[in-house]
Chain A
Amino acid sequence: MPLPLLLWAGGLIAGAGVVKGVGAMSDFEDAKRVGKSAEKHYRKAKDKLENQRIKTNSDFENLGRVKLSVFTTQIKHLVQVVNNSGKNARSRLSHFNQDFSVQNLKDMGAFEFDSLKIENGLVSGAVAGVLVGLGPALAVGGFMLASKAEEALTLAREYEAEVDIAIAKIKGSRRILEALSVNAHEMSSALIELAQRFDVVKVDDDSDLMAFEKMFALGMALKNIANTPIMESDGNASENVKAKISGYLEI
């Protein structure tokens, strides 16, 4: 290629390199924006999950209180009546405290990528190139910067995708916690309804056998429910929501 044509073509490509370098700065900004936005969404989803966990645990604390109240009022009364009748009776309440935690959550960490350091290095190199009059260096720097910006964008999109998947899982765990809350309310109200009926039919001895048997049947139903934790057969509420079950009381 003749020298003037080479210089002309070189000038064009160099110009394109400089333009690419300038465009790369905007791509870097896009990458940062995508990453930071994903990070913000993830934090928000985690906060919502934590708030639901606190609410669910509070609902289970209430359920635990209802269970304790039933045990120390209605069941205690039944045990006393049986003891007074000449038979020995005792009762144990367990598993009335339940505390839930969310596990296996992916730790996304803050959004950062190493290429940003390279970006800074390239920018200062390119600027130095201009200062010493190295036009081709600036153009090559522009192309390299554009490549790094593409990689940064990919990293940002990858991070965003991982965050989106993590958020979908978080929403699933939140749904489990919400369901557990509904379940706790359901059990609490069943216990309260049964306890109210127990109080209506309760007797202080077994002189009226029909009345005593009604109270006994209601007492056993109360005890049965009060002793039941809400969970699956494997002892957990779900894959990610783990239950810690405790509590033991004896009359």
Chain B
Amino acid sequence: MLNSSLKSKSASEKDGGVSEAAVLDAFNILIGAWKDCKNTAEIEKTKRKNIKAWRDVNVKAIEESSNVLKIYLTRSFDERAVTIRGIFERLDRAIETDNLDTVGILLGSIVSIVKESPLAQARQRIADFKNPDVLMIDI
């Protein structure tokens, strides 16, 4: 369209003036370009709004899971540290008093706690967090 307008313009210029048709053509081209620009701006604004909503939903979901993990792991490691320290204190007393049964039980507790990965438990808590049927998460 622009080319034909320019051609019209060139033709009229040969005659020494600008024809009304050429001006109308150019005007219509301008109007078309303006409308296209306006439409594109509206479409792109809507797209950007949707992108932002998509981003917010996804980031929020990931951050919430991550926060549950952080809270669970921090508490879990703190509790484990206290528990393990307590068991070692009792173990020392059992060793000193030659209480072999208690030594065995306490060593079993230490092994069982240390072998149990809090990360595995954390994954279950996150699954609970995402599950709408789970009403209470034991952290």
Contact = CB atoms under 8 A, between A and B. Distances in A.
Interface in B84-99: 84, 88, 91-92, 95, 98
B11 interface: no
Contacts of A193: 88
Dominant SS among interface residues on chain A? helix
A140 B41 contact: no
B35 to A, nearest CB: 9
B87 to A, nearest CB: 10
Interface residues of A, number: 64
B119 A180 contact: yes
B131 interface: no
Interface of A: 1, 3, 6-7, 9-10, 13-14, 16-17, 20, 134, 136-137, 139-140, 143-144, 146-147, 150-151, 153-154, 157-158, 160-161, 164-165, 168-169, 171-172, 175-176, 179-180, 182-183, 186-187, 190, 193-194, 197, 200-201, 210, 213-214, 217-218, 220-221, 224-225, 228, 230-233, 237-238
27 contacts: A6-B23, A10-B27, A13-B30, A13-B34, A16-B34, A17-B33, A136-B26, A137-B6, A144-B36, A146-B37, A147-B37, A153-B48, A158-B47, A158-B51, A160-B55, A164-B55, A165-B58, A168-B59, A175-B70, A186-B80, A190-B114, A194-B107, A217-B103, A218-B107, A224-B111, A225-B110, A232-B123
Given A197-B95, A233-B120, 9 more contacts: A16-B34, A158-B51, A165-B58, A165-B59, A175-B66, A187-B114, A224-B115, A228-B114, A232-B123
